[in-house]
Chain A
Amino acid sequence: DIVMTQSPDSLAVSLGERATINCKSSQSILNNSNNKNHLAWYQQKPGQPPKLLIYWASTRESGVPDRFSGSGSETDFTLTISSLQAEDVGVYYCQQYYTSPSYTFGQGTKLEIK
């Protein structure tokens, strides 16, 4: 199985500042046939299901604020929140869907306000 490792496990950022979460896969999740990275990012708030933010590593889901962006390729990926808002507090997960259907998630990164 592909192992997804996120860093850091937790992060405290001041309002208006940039937040960066990293996700590393144990093998490349770049599909050479379509040149797309099979990586998604989700946000989960307490008591709620995960909410899709980003897919194909960098495509923002409709309705997601443009302060959220995804980048990276092959094994190293980043979720960036350009200017942290209070409502962005939660746990963020990356997920690979390269080895479908044996999907795997990162362990999660807890984002808090400093």
Chain B
Amino acid sequence: EAGVAQSPRYKIIEKRQSVAFWCNPISGHATLYWYQQILGQGPKLLIQFQNNGVVDDSQLPKDRFSAERLKGVDSTLKIQPAKLEDSAVYLCASSLDDGAGDNEQFFGPGTRLTVL
């Protein structure tokens, strides 16, 4: 079974530029999560999708971050414009959520963003 795919693995941009990250969850997984992991800290949820609807985006800085999950499968996370403090690893995760209560999250390899 293929895991969660993310691209790119690394990205370096100048502040005020725009950047986009892509995530392809495990096939059939209903729920998709984007986490931000700043160096030396634990991941923090940015946004959670259930199929193509947003469940939780309370920690997403909506003035500069946006995310979408078209057709309930792939997702993109965009930052526009980027700030120095956005330098972090962006992790995508997915879970089955089959209604049986077991929704183990499977993580992708992450995208390391450096904002100069």
Do the two shown chains form a genuine complex with each other? no
